[in-house]
Amino acid sequence: MVDFARLDRALLEAMAAAGGEVMKCRRVLARGGDTVMSEALGRAPDAVEWSHYPAGDVYDPLSHAQYFYHLHPAGQRPPGEHGHFHAFLRPRGMPPGARPLIMPELAIADSPAAPPAPQPNQGADNDEFSHLAAIAMDAAGEPVRLFTTNRWVTGETWYAAADVAAMLDRFVIDLARPSRPLNRWITALFALFRPQLIELVHARDQAVMSFRRRRRGKVHVLEDRRLEVTSSVDIDVDDQIRRVALALKQVA
């Protein structure tokens, strides 16, 4: 649980600004009867399970951040979830010193289920992407949960939690297409929930190492289908904004 009273003013102010941006994007889209989810789906009447939306993913060649939305078959979704965004960062956008984690289980995935779409003219040095987090959405188009996954889910290259935490503020999608409000919303959501995301990536590593210890190294934990979601937290945008505002009033 995030202790808002322990967050410094600079971080709280950045979160408050991000909250304002999230609300602005929500209002702009609502005027046309849209949500960030409908923007991602392109108003597709029948979204195809496992397909990436928007087609080809959204990739910012300056920040090297990338995301897509997809949905699982109905019987494989948590209660109340329509689908989720997966967010990534490619190596050229990572902070200096970020390196794949070397384990007896190789860091590079064998057979990813839903990797992000390859990007043109990137080169092999930009392929070892990190999955930052996923954002679960309800049928009304509101985010309800943040979660992380085991490596096999997205086919990512595995970076230690400290490196992934340092990548979070580099997730910026500053593009007009396919939807400026959607791109601004997902960028701002990462800033609004940054403390929870930092906790999530550390909880991810703890879950993976605990799973590995219990099996005494007899299983390639990063490829083990029995471990899919590695950490999760329910979220509420309006409540987060209220808590940030209250903390700002109390901070010195």
- List, for residues 37-87, the tens digit of each pLDDT value: 999 998 766 788 989 999 899 999 999 999 999 999 988 888 889 999 999
- List, for residues 198-242, the tens digit of each pLDDT value: 999 999 999 999 998 887 656 688 888 999 999 999 999 999 999
Q: In this predicted structure, what is the pLDDT of residue 127?
A: 86
DSSP string, the chain: ---GGGS-HHHHHHHHHHHHHHHHHHHHHHHTT--HHHHHHTT-SSPPTT--EEEEEEE-TTT-EEEEEE---GGGSPTT--EEEEEEE-GGGSPTT--BPP-SS-SB-SS-SSPPPP-TT--GGG---EEEEEEEE-TTS-EEEEEEE-HHHHTPBPB-HHHHHHHGGG------TTTHHHHHHHHHHHHHTHHHHHHHHHHHHHHHHHHHHHTTT-S-GGG-TT--EEEEEE--HHHHHHHHHHHHHH--
CA proximity to 241, closest of 172, 197, 188: 188
The overall average pLDDT reported for the chain is 91
- List, for residues 89-140, the tens digit of each pLDDT value: 999 999 999 999 876 655 555 555 567 887 765 667 788 899 999 999 999 9
Q: In this predicted structure, what is the pLDDT of residue 44?
A: 67
What is the value of pTM for the model shown?
0.93
Separation between Cα atoms, residue 54 and residue 152, nearest integer Å: 22
Decide if 72 contacts 136 (C-beta within 8 A): no
Q: In this predicted structure, what is the pLDDT of residue 121?
A: 57
Q: In this predicted structure, what is the pLDDT of residue 64?
A: 96
